[in-house]
Structure 1
Amino acid sequence: MSGPDLSFELAAQARGAKLVAGVDEVGRGPLAGPVTAAAVILPQGDLPPGLNDSKKLTARRREALDEWIRANCDWAVIHVDVDEIDRLNILRASQLAMVRAVAALRQRPCHALIDGNLIPQGLDCPAEAVVKGDARSVSIAAASILAKVERDRVMVDLAQQHPGYGWDGNAGYPTPAHKEALQRLGVTPHHRKSFAPVHKMLCK
Structure 2
Amino acid sequence: MKSAPPTLRFERSFIESGHQFLAGCDEVGRGALAGPVSVGLVVIDLAAVKGLRGVRDSKLLSPADRVRLVPRIKKWALAHGVGHASSAEIDDVGLMRALQLAGNRAWEQVVVTVRPDAVILDGNHDWLSPRPEATLFDTETFATATLEAGPLEAGPVETDPVETEAFDAEVPAGCNVPVHTRIKADLQCLSVAAASVLAKVERDAMMVSYAGDHPQYGWEVNKGYATAGHRAAIHGLGPTGLHRTTWRLGTRDRIGMPRVEIGG
- Same fold, TM-score > 0.5, yes or no: yes
Matched, 1:85 2:73: no
Q: Which has the larger radius of gyration?
A: 2
Q: Which amino acid aligns with 1:97?
A: A
1:63 offset after TM fit, Å?
Answer: 0.9
Residues 26-74 of structure 1, C-alpha deviations (whole Å, 9 max, x = no match): 0011110000001001353433312111111111211111121123321
Q: 1:170 aligns with which of 219, 222, 227?
A: 222
User: What amino acid sits opposite 1:112 in the alignment?
Assistant: V
Is contact 1:13-1:20 (8 Å) kept?
no
SS of residue in 1 equivalent to 2:69: helix
Q: How does 1:1-204 map to 2 (within 5 A)?
A: 2-42=4-44, 44-73=48-77, 74-105=79-110, 106-119=113-126, 120-122=128-130, 123-197=175-249
Distance 2:52 2:188 in 1: 16
Q: Is the 8 A contact 1:20 1:112 kept in 2?
A: yes
Distance 1:21 1:139 in 2: 7
**Hey, what's the Cα distance between the residues in 1 that align with 2:185 and 2:107?**
16
Deviation by residue 1:93-143 (Cα, 9 ceiling, x = unmatched): 113312331232021100100011112222221110011110010000000
Runs of 4+ deviating beyond 3 Å: none
Counterpart CA distance in 2 for 1:10 and 1:45 is 10
CA-based RMSD of the aligned residues comes to 1.5
Name the CA distance, whole Å, in 1 between partners of 2:200 and 2:99.
Answer: 14
Identity of aligned residues (%): 39
Could you tell me how far apart the structure 1 residues matched to 2:15 and 2:101 are? 26
TM-superposed CA distance for 1:147, in Å, is 0.5
Q: For residues 244 and 33 of structure 2, what CA distance do their matches in structure 1 show?
A: 6
Q: Whose helix fraction is larger, Structure 1's or Structure 2's?
A: 1
